[in-house]
Amino acid sequence: MENNLIIFGSVTLAMKSRNLLLKNNIKSGLVRTPIHLNRKSCGYSLYVPENFERALEIIRSNGIAVKGTAAVDTL
């Protein structure tokens, strides 16, 4: 399974990233970070079902810090 979850340090960064991806025609959804992945984060992540690597590249190139990534089956 490939990564499809981007974990952030704040809900503000997650929302900013979601809007940035939307402007770049990449679908994503703001979700609660699964409890087993919620280590020192705000508890919110972006679920990116397609174009994950491109999404991560866009987020990082805009100076947004990412706490981590993960692969999840269901949310």
Q: For 5-29, write each residue's pLDDT tens digit.
A: 999 989 999 999 999 999 999 999 9
Q: Show me where the domains of the chain are located.
A: 5-70
Average pLDDT value over all residues in the chain: 90
The matching CATH number, chosen from 3.30.70, 3.30.2010, 1.20.120, 3.40.50, for 5-70 is 3.30.70
Contact criterion met (CB below 8 Å) for 42 and 10? yes
Between 23 and 1, the more confident residue is 23
Contact criterion met (CB below 8 Å) for 53 and 66? no
Q: What is the pTM of this model?
A: 0.87
Q: Is the pLDDT of residue 35 over 80?
A: no
